[in-house]
Structure 1
Amino acid sequence: MKENILEILKNLHFTEYEAKAYLALLKESPLSGYAVAKNSGVPRSRIYEVLDNLVIRGDILVSPGNTPQYTAVPSKELIKSRRKKAEENFELAEKSLEKFEGSSNDRENIWNITGQTEILEKVKACIFTAKKRILLEIWKDEYEELKSELKQAADRGVNVTIIAYGEIVSDFANVYHHYMGNKITEEYGGRWIVISGDDSEVVAGIVSLGNDSRAAWTMHVGLVMPITEVMIHDLYLIEIMEKHKELLEGSFGKNLVNLRRKFSIHPDFKKHYVD
């Protein structure tokens, strides 16, 4: 049990000697330096150096005199202090590192992402940083993986709009079901995902190939703008189909099949992006 506590204290940036001295004082205080060495097993030649470090850091207190006495800061107070310091360090690191981020370079590069899990993690990062609007084109399979993050975004005031393939139901997002639904998978042979965050960041790719899934992430305006606008035009078409489906299918066939056939270059009328 004591060995476990020592390892825990080491994770809080105690040295082994510091951890042993603190535990000795936590068990019995106040003690002289000699008594701490005796009770903790810290060599007498090192004990005062160790105690001085703990005092400077605020982990123990010292009462000066002919024979200084030492006492441990209570464990709850120690943890509270460590947590506050860690949060301060994280905040400082976040602000400092932002200054070194190559935001201008980010807007010129296109980054490849391989693997379904890795793609979804990048999508989650995009969701996390969005402040105004998320446009998301997604199948139900991947939606379930991202539902929690999307709800958190909606809760902080982000407008979440989803172009859904399959039966996606949400009480926090605007959901537009694609008029072809799951049938479109037969044509494309796989599922894709596209997200636009605040019209400034895009992740787009195929996510149905497991570890061989491929996607790209970019802030390059030359791609962010057209991809975002294609998604918006999908929304236009979905609303138009809802209001004028009979008229449009009368001109272009069921689910606008004649239009899709007209602009397909494949004799079998199927897409081959994932072959």
Structure 2
Amino acid sequence: MKNNLLKILKNLNFTEYESKAYLALLEESPLTGYAVAKKSGVPRSKIYEVLESLVIRGDIFVSYGSTPQYIPVPAKELIKNRRLKAEETFEQAEKYFKKFERSANDRENIWNITGRSEILDKVKACILSAQKRILLEIWKEDFKEIESELKQAAQTGVIVTIIAYGDIEADFANVYLHDRSREITEEYDGRWLVFSVDDSEVVAGIVSHGKDSRAAWTMHVGLVMPITEVMIHDLYLMEIMEKHRDVLEESFGENLISLRRKFSIHPDLKKHYMK
């Protein structure tokens, strides 16, 4: 029991001698320095140095008189103080290290991510860093794995907009259902994911090939801008199609098939990126 308590105190930044002195005072107080040394096993030559360190840190109190006596801060109060101090330290760390998150080097690099789980893990991390807006193109098969993080971001005020391939329901987001998800999956021979956060960071790639899935993550403005803007133009098109489908299909065929033919380089109209 005592060894466990000593270990816990060490994890709270007590030295071995400080831990022994503090535990001795918890068991019995007030005590003189001599009595603390005798009860705790801390050498008498070190005890006053140890007690002074605890006093300065606020872990024990001293009553000065002809013979100084010491009492401990109650354990419950000690834990509370340590927790508050730790939270304050983390807040300061977040504040002062934030400027290093997006260094000049990061903004010039394009990082390759291999593996579906690894890609989704990176997207989750990016979601939790969002401050203003998330744009996302995703299939329903992959949505569930990042739904919790998206909902958490939305609860902090981040605007979440999803272009959904398949029936995705998310009352915390603006969801645009793409009405050709099955055909597109066949046409492209797979599912992609495109993610943009705060117009400053993107993850984009194929996520339907398991460990062979490939994506890129970057803050390079040369990719962030066009990828983000393509997603926004997809949203424009979906809004326009919803309101004027009849007129557009009269000009370009069902689901704009003549446009797909016009801009395809393959006779089967399928994409062959993965071959």
Does 98-107 or 3-12 show the bigger shift? Answer: 98-107
Q: Could you say which residue in structure 2 is the equivalent of 1:14?
A: 14
Classify 1:244/1:117 alpha carbon distance in 2 versus 1 (closer, same or farther; 3 Å).
same
Percent identity, aligned pairs only?
A: 76
- AA at the equivalent of 2:126: C
1:205 deviation in Å?
1.8
Q: How do 1:72-221 residues align onto structure 2 when only pairs under 5 Å count? A: 72-100=72-100, 103-221=103-221
| Aligned partners of 1:115 and 1:213 also within 8 Å | yes
The unaligned stretches of length 5 or more in structure 2 are none
1:137 deviation in Å?
0.7
CA deviations on 1:88-115 (whole Å, 9 max, x unpaired) are: 2223223332345554433332222333
| Aligned partners of 1:179 and 1:241 also within 8 Å | no
Secondary structure at the residue paired with 1:121? helix
1:164 deviation in Å?
0.5
Classify 1:271/1:14 alpha carbon distance in 2 versus 1 (closer, same or farther; 3 Å).
farther
Q: Could you say which residue in structure 2 is the equivalent of 1:32?
A: 32
Query: What is the rounded CA distance, in whole Å, between the counterparts of 2:38 and 2:115 in structure 1?
Result: 56
Query: Is structure 2 residue 234 aligned with structure 1 residue 234?
Result: yes
The unaligned stretches of length 5 or more in structure 1 are none
1:25 deviation in Å?
1.5
Classify 1:24/1:210 alpha carbon distance in 2 versus 1 (closer, same or farther; 3 Å).
farther
Q: How many residues align?
A: 275
1:159 deviation in Å?
1.8
Query: What is the rounded CA distance, in whole Å, between the counterparts of 1:273 and 1:37 in structure 2?
Result: 75
TM-score (norm 1): 0.86
Query: What is the rounded CA distance, in whole Å, between the counterparts of 2:248 and 2:161 in structure 1?
Result: 25
Query: What is the rounded CA distance, in whole Å, between the counterparts of 2:161 and 2:23 in structure 1?
Result: 54
Secondary structure at the residue paired with 1:230? helix
Classify 1:62/1:174 alpha carbon distance in 2 versus 1 (closer, same or farther; 3 Å).
same
Query: What is the rounded CA distance, in whole Å, between the counterparts of 1:44 and 1:209 in structure 2?
Result: 68
Classify 1:63/1:211 alpha carbon distance in 2 versus 1 (closer, same or farther; 3 Å).
farther
1:237 deviation in Å?
2.3
1:268 deviation in Å?
5.0
Query: What is the rounded CA distance, in whole Å, between the counterparts of 1:266 and 1:94 in structure 2?
Result: 51
Classify 1:100/1:155 alpha carbon distance in 2 versus 1 (closer, same or farther; 3 Å).
closer
- AA at the equivalent of 1:159: I
TM-score (norm 2): 0.86
Query: What is the rounded CA distance, in whole Å, between the counterparts of 2:64 and 2:117 in structure 1?
Result: 58
- AA at the equivalent of 2:157: G
Q: Could you say which residue in structure 2 is the equivalent of 1:265?
A: 265
Does 263-272 or 177-186 show the bigger shift? Answer: 263-272
Query: What is the rounded CA distance, in whole Å, between the counterparts of 1:186 and 1:9 in structure 2?
Result: 60
- The runs of 4+ residues in structure 1 deviating greater than 6 Å are none
1:201 deviation in Å?
2.0
1:249 deviation in Å?
4.6
Q: Could you say which residue in structure 1 is the equivalent of 2:41?
A: 41
Secondary structure at the residue paired with 1:171? coil
Query: What is the rounded CA distance, in whole Å, between the counterparts of 1:237 and 1:207 in structure 2?
Result: 24
Classify 1:44/1:182 alpha carbon distance in 2 versus 1 (closer, same or farther; 3 Å).
farther
Classify 1:29/1:227 alpha carbon distance in 2 versus 1 (closer, same or farther; 3 Å).
same
